[in-house]
């Protein structure tokens, strides 16, 4: 029986494993998926998780629920030695060990790109995982509670200042959704006014949303600014030390919440701890049929998703590669499964080719933008298209129904404005026994909590 090892359970890895389960019998091969998380994150829902429009659990697709026959290992691959057909796995608990395989599928995904900026690691938070989206929402709502109990002044302004760094889809969608949430929350906080909200979007390039045209991108900027946002183009972050944002244009302000969405970087395991061929960006070199390699394929090695440089056969630009988005990752995962099965059974593998279905983004409740070639749709229709597309795209009918139920409930009763920030330190109440003068032993106090 052949051992097929999939490194990473994200879009491409999940759909590859799902497809292999459906096509291969138990006697043909065993599929193993190694990932530190027990779920696949449906990342397009993360901006709506920050706004509470989608429940956090509904943006996470359980691997065990859908991969019935695959062996799932909770851990991280720290090294790949394809010449020996082995990987090194670091489990969530315990010592590292080696795992052997016959066929390797690399779908480890990209990581958030960061820079050596003072204060970045201490004060910023990403928007790539469900946990981060939940924390962003809770921090904003907690800041509102704290600000409402303070008199107008510098601390209140700091608490009501939010900064997003990065003008790609993740940053703009998260920014628009959180701005929409904050505006809606003002109705429940008569102590606060809209003039006290300060939302900043910082982008190093001269435009946002590079996947859409110049005019639609400029329209998005104007739309955000009409809602009170500050959009800083051609601007970089110089420092976040002490929570004070220092911009390259000289502007400075204190911000209680800084969200970092400034693009992706190659996975360090693929780039630095693998014997597979990589390009100048650190991405695995992949042929159009998703086999690893340039001219000649590397035997028994496949790759797809954000950590792979997949040739874009649908592009008119010579040497173009597919952009790292959900559209491509899902379809590459499906093509991976079909090609691996064909290869094992002596069939013919096919090249991956997909023409874009267009791009659609949410800019907050009831606001969006869609573009397909020269067709541009704005506002409510685009927002409805965004919701319709993603509820169809999220895996399994169970998840589709759960998400639709939350949306319908919110349409009738409005947003659920409850912060659960305390769940990040669940033992605080227990160790203090409710005594406000008793020091706690939470991680925030420097002590270890079980």
Q: Is the pLDDT of residue 450 over 60?
A: no
**Predicted local distance difference test score (pLDDT) of residue 418:** 67
**Predicted local distance difference test score (pLDDT) of residue 338:** 97
pLDDT averaged over every residue in the chain: 90
**Predicted local distance difference test score (pLDDT) of residue 446:** 43
**Predicted local distance difference test score (pLDDT) of residue 215:** 92
Q: CB–CB of 282/271 below 8 Å?
A: yes
Q: Is the pLDDT of residue 438 over 60?
A: yes
Instruction: Give the count of beta carbons closer than 10 Å to the beta carbon of residue 102.
Output: 14
Q: What is the pLDDT of residues 40-70, one digit of tens each?
A: 999 889 999 999 888 888 898 899 999 999 9
**Predicted local distance difference test score (pLDDT) of residue 444:** 47
Highest-confidence segment of 159-168, 209-218, 393-402: 159-168
Q: Distance of alpha carbon 99 from its chain centroid, rounded? A: 28
Please name the residue that has the structure tokens 């359980």.
62
Q: Is the pLDDT of residue 355 over 50?
A: yes
Highest-confidence segment of 125-139, 394-408, 422-436: 125-139
CA-nearest of 388, 313, 297 to 349 is 297
Instruction: Give the count of beta carbons closer than 10 Å to the beta carbon of residue 264.
Output: 18
Q: What is the pLDDT of residues 407-423, one digit of tens each?
A: 888 887 777 776 666 56
Q: CB–CB of 274/82 below 8 Å?
A: yes
Instruction: Read off the pLDDT band of 449 (50, 70, 90).
Output: very low
Six-digit token pair at 100? 């052997």
Q: Is the pLDDT of residue 76 over 90?
A: yes
**Predicted local distance difference test score (pLDDT) of residue 318:** 87
Instruction: Read off the pLDDT band of 431 (50, 70, 90).
Output: confident
Q: CB–CB of 80/269 below 8 Å?
A: yes
Instruction: Read off the pLDDT band of 441 (50, 70, 90).
Output: low
Percent residues over pLDDT 90 in the chain: 69
**Predicted local distance difference test score (pLDDT) of residue 422:** 58
Mean pLDDT of 331-358: 93
Q: What is the pLDDT of residues 371-400, one digit of tens each?
A: 988 899 999 999 999 999 888 888 888 888
Q: Which helix (H) or strand (E) holds 84?
A: none
Q: What is the pLDDT of residues 242-296, one digit of tens each?
A: 999 999 999 999 999 999 999 888 899 998 999 999 999 999 999 999 999 988 8
**Predicted local distance difference test score (pLDDT) of residue 83:** 95
Mean pLDDT of 166-181: 94
């Amino acid at each position: 029986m052949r051992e097929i090892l999939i490194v990473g359970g994200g879009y491409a890895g999940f759909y590859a494993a799902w497809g292999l389960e459906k096509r291969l019998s138990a006697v043909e091969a065993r599929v193993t998926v190694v990932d530190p998380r027990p779920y696949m994150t449906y990342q397009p829902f993360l901006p709506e998780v920050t706004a509470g429009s989608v429940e956090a659990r509904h943006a996470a697709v359980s691997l065990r629920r859908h991969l019935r026959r695959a062996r799932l290992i909770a851990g991280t691959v720290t090294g790949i030695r394809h010449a020996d057909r082995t990987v090194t796995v670091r489990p969530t608990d315990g010592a590292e060990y080696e795992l052997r395989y016959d066929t390797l599928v690399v779908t480890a995904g990209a990581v958030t790109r960061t820079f050596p900026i003072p204060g970045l690691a201490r004060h910023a938070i990403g928007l790539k995982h469900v946990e981060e989206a939940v924390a962003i929402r809770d921090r904003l709502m907690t800041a509102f509670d704290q600000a409402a109990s303070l008199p107008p002044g510098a601390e209140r302004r700091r608490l009501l200042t939010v900064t997003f760094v990065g003008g790609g889809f993740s940053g703009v969608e998260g920014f628009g959704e959180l701005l929409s949430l904050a505006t809606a929350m003002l109705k429940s906080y008569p102590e606060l006014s809209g003039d006290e909200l300060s939302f900043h979007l910082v982008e190093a390039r001269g435009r946002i949303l590079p996947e859409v045209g110049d005019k639609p991108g400029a329209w998005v900027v104007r739309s955000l600014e009409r809602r009170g946002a500050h959009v800083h183009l051609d601007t970089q972050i110089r420092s976040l030390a002490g929570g004070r944002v220092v911009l390259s244009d000289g502007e400075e302000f204190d911000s209680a919440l800084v969200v970092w969405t400034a693009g992706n970087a190659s996975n360090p395991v693929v780039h630095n701890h693998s014997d597979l061929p990589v390009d100048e960006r650190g991405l695995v070199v992949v042929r159009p049929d998703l086999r690893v390699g340039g001219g000649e394929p590397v035997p028994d090695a496949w790759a797809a998703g954000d950590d792979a440089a997949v040739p874009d056969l649908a592009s008119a630009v010579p040497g173009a590669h597919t952009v790292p988005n959900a559209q491509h990752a899902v379809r590459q995962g499906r093509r991976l499964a079909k090609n691996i099965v064909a290869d094992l059974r002596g069939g013919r593998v096919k090249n991956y080719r997909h023409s874009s279905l267009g791009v659609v983004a949410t800019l907050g409740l009831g606001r969006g933008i869609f573009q397909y070639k020269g067709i541009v749709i704005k506002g409510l229709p685009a927002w409805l298209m965004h919701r319709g597309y993603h509820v169809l795209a999220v895996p399994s009918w169970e998840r589709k129904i759960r998400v639709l139920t939350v949306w319908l409930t919110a349409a009738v009763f409005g947003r659920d404005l409850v912060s659960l920030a305390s769940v990040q330190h669940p033992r605080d109440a227990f160790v203090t026994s409710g005594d406000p003068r008793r020091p706690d032993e939470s991680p925030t106090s420097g002590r270890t909590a079980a």
